[in-house]
A and B are shown apart, each in its own frame.
Chain A
Amino acid sequence: EAEVAQSPRYKITEKSQAVAFWCDPISGHATLYWYRQILGQGPELLVQFQDESVVDDSQLPKDRFSAERLKGVDSTLKIQPAELGDSAMYLCASSFLTSGGLDTQYFGPGTRLTVL
């Protein structure tokens, strides 16, 4: 069964350092999402891509976070510089959704970030 791949699974970094997370969605899925999940809370959308274009990044802290999906397939989420409050699980999800309509989001295993 096809899965969303994410790496690394765990990342420990010091504040002010740069970190990057990678996501490879299920093949053929046009839409890709990055979520942040703080311990004890539900996932919160950071950015949504439709192919290589950003559809929604209203909740992305753009002063330190950036995301790209250059070829419309895999994606990278970067934080620079990392802050203590960035410690969380970063989840990637993908769906077949093209334009409008609804499709199920399939989640990867996540990257657990700890900022010291």
Chain B
Amino acid sequence: AQSVTQLGSHVSVSEGALVLLRCNYSSSVPPYLFWYVQYPNQGLQLLLKYTSAATLVKGINGFEAEFKKSETSFHLTKPSAHMSDAAEYFCAVSSVTGNQFYFGTGTSLTVIP
């Protein structure tokens, strides 16, 4: 069975500082991994996805994530936070067949001016 754990339900960073949102997965087979962003009262928007190609995945809005099998991690980073990055971020894992998505509990990112 697949699952993801997001460490830290709330993260605050200063504008211009590094953003690091943590995600660890549990999967019996090589997983597919995703990061989604959700703004208040909106649906989820895909930031990036890992599907067993390059381990460093670049997404939209300057975000990237690195798949580390040895650490079972897929942490999301951005070198310099912008005020518009303030939102809820969800890590998700999918089975190889794509039949099931499992979302983490989310991390709320606050950007301090």
Contact = CB atoms under 8 A, between A and B. Distances in A.
B45 A42 contact: no
Chain A, interface residues (CB within 8 Å), range: 20 to 34
A22 B104 CA distance: 26
Interface in B19-70: 32, 34, 36, 41-46, 49, 51
Given A41-B105, A42-B104, A102 B43 contact: no
A107 B45 contact: yes
B99 A55 contact: yes
A103 B45 contact: no
B41 A97 contact: no
Contacts, number: 62
B97 A107 contact: no
Interface centre among A9, A42, A48, A95 (most CB of B within 10 A): A42
A110 B9 CA distance: 22
A4 B9 CA distance: 28
Contacts of B94: 102
A86 B101 CA distance: 21
Contact of B98 (A4, A45, A101, A110): A101
Contacts of B96: 102
B41 A112 contact: yes
Contact of A45 (B32, B90, B100): B100
Nearest to B32: A102
* 10 interchain residue pairs of minimum CB distance: A42-B103, A107-B43, A102-B98, A107-B44, A109-B43, A110-B43, A43-B103, A108-B43, A42-B105, A97-B98
12 contacts: A42-B92, A42-B104, A43-B44, A43-B90, A45-B101, A100-B98, A101-B98, A102-B98, A107-B36, A107-B45, A109-B41, A109-B42
